[in-house]
Amino acid sequence: MGVLLIIFVLVCSGYAQNCREEEPRERKCENVCSDDGICKIRAALLLPKNTTFDASLPVVEPVFELAMQHDVVRNAFPPWVQFEWRRYDVSDCDAAYAVITAIDAYNDCSHVFFGPSCDFALASVARITKFLGNTGIPLVTTGGLTFDFVQPKQNCHHEYYMMVRSGPLGFKDMAYFIIDIMRHYDWRQLLLINEPEAQVHVAGKSTCLLMMKTFANYLKKEDIIYTPWDTTSDGGLNYTENLKFYLGYKYTKSSTIDDGGVGRWNWPRRRPMSTPKPRPVPLMLNTASQAPNVDANAEATSTDDFGHGSRRRLMPTSMPIPVPVKTADANQARRTNECC
């Protein structure tokens, strides 16, 4: 019985599966040691040549060369193992180029990938590395700042299994830094001004959009109200006017008009129970001109979290502002409209 068990264990442990749940197709070139006894780890650098990006080949390669000379690194590997660095240019830190360079690196029998570092490029490559090679090719990167990349990566079911983030900081940390400041001063809502395609040198395309996405994700979790303002959709207004619009319209509720229960105004969606109710609206408004700060042309942003979406005009310019009626019903109507 004991012998049977040992045989069973041996048979089972000899049967390795990869993330595709099939037996790996052996590729001889993936062996670290070749037939003539030379042992080499082939490491692929998947980074852009363009030095606009913080992590680029001309910057990172010398760092690796220096690191390899350090005793700690040298002692970490047996002396008979050599290293071979191969460079692959991920043009523009672009996702498509990243995938094709990863395929090239795989065909060249690389054992480990360093990079890509831009988030979109990294996402495309990191999703497939678990299926490459006999048991997946490990990917080490200082990128991966968006919150998706901080999810667990312990088995084949996890999206970015085989990826290792070596960077000290991600967008989540930055988000919680700001959230902690808000908590400290007891600030409860914020206007999120964002230029989606700025700071591309940090994480490639849409760096700021991804930062905002991450930030918005944790603001929701922490029940902090935010209004997104994507500066690229300016609605034909300059910054001064837009700032007035976003701050005036969304943050001074006491001066917004009563829509008489029509309910087409976009109130901020998330209102935690702890938020104090706005001051009561002055109710004796008879003419449009008496309504302070009211802009009949006011546009409402879409409820899209990223401020992407279309803006729509709520009323034609010529339409008169509805005159609120001072009744308990109007108050009631307003209260019911506020909830969502």
- The stretch near ligand NAG (CB under 6 A) out of 66-74, 151-159, 237-245, 264-272 is 237-245
Q: How are strands ordered across the β-sheet holding 139-141? A: 81-89, 39-47, 112-114, 139-141, 163-165
Nearer to ligand NAG, 31 or 50 (CB): 50
Is 52 a binding residue for ligand NAG by CB under 6 A? The answer is yes
**Amino acid code (one letter) for 165:** R
Nearer to ligand NAG, 238 or 289 (CB): 238
State which of positions 190-209 bind ligand NAG (CB under 6 A): 200
The CB density around residue 181, as the number of other CB atoms within 10 Å, is 10
Determine what percent of the chain falls in helix, strand and coil, rounding each to the nearest 5: 40, 15, 50
User: Residues 208, 198: contact at Cβ < 8 Å?
Assistant: yes
State which of positions 241-260 bind ligand NAG (CB under 6 A): 241
Is 238 a binding residue for ligand NAG by CB under 6 A? The answer is yes
Query: In the bound complex, what is the minimum distance in angstroms from residue 311's beta carbon to ligand NAG?
Result: 17
Burial 237-262 (b: 16+ CB within 10 A, else e): eeeeebeebbebbbbeeebbbbbeee
Nearest to 89 by CA among 100, 79, 78, 80: 100
Q: Exposed, middle or buried by CB within 10 Å (0-12, 13-18, 19+), for 55?
A: buried
Query: In the bound complex, what is the minimum distance in angstroms from residue 92's beta carbon to ligand NAG?
Result: 5
Nearer to ligand NAG, 198 or 300 (CB): 198
Residue with tokens 């042992």: 39
What does each C-alpha distance from 58 to 221, 256, 286 come to in angstroms? 40, 55, 69
- The stretch near ligand NAG (CB under 6 A) out of 6-14, 117-125, 133-141, 238-246 is 238-246
Which residues on neighbouring strands pair with residue 89, listed in sequence order? 47
Is 155 a binding residue for ligand NAG by CB under 6 A? The answer is no
Nearer to ligand NAG, 241 or 304 (CB): 241
Is 92 a binding residue for ligand NAG by CB under 6 A? The answer is yes
Query: In the bound complex, what is the minimum distance in angstroms from residue 31's beta carbon to ligand NAG?
Result: 38
Nearer to ligand NAG, 203 or 281 (CB): 203
Is 234 a binding residue for ligand NAG by CB under 6 A? The answer is no
Nearer to ligand NAG, 48 or 170 (CB): 48
Is 50 a binding residue for ligand NAG by CB under 6 A? The answer is yes
Nearer to ligand NAG, 92 or 119 (CB): 92
Please tell me whether residue 260 adopts helix, strand or coil conformation: coil
Whole-number Å distance between alpha carbons of 257 and 60: 57
Kind of pairing between the strands at 139-141 and 163-165: parallel
Nearer to ligand NAG, 200 or 300 (CB): 200
Query: In the bound complex, what is the minimum distance in angstroms from residue 138's beta carbon to ligand NAG?
Result: 28
Nearer to ligand NAG, 192 or 200 (CB): 200
The CB density around residue 86, as the number of other CB atoms within 10 Å, is 14
| 86 CB-side CA count, 13 A | 18
Q: 13, 240, 289, 318: which one contacts ligand NAG (CB under 6 A)?
A: 240
- The stretch near ligand NAG (CB under 6 A) out of 61-69, 76-84, 233-241, 296-304 is 233-241
Site residues for ligand NAG per CB under 6 A:
50, 52, 92, 200, 238, 240-241
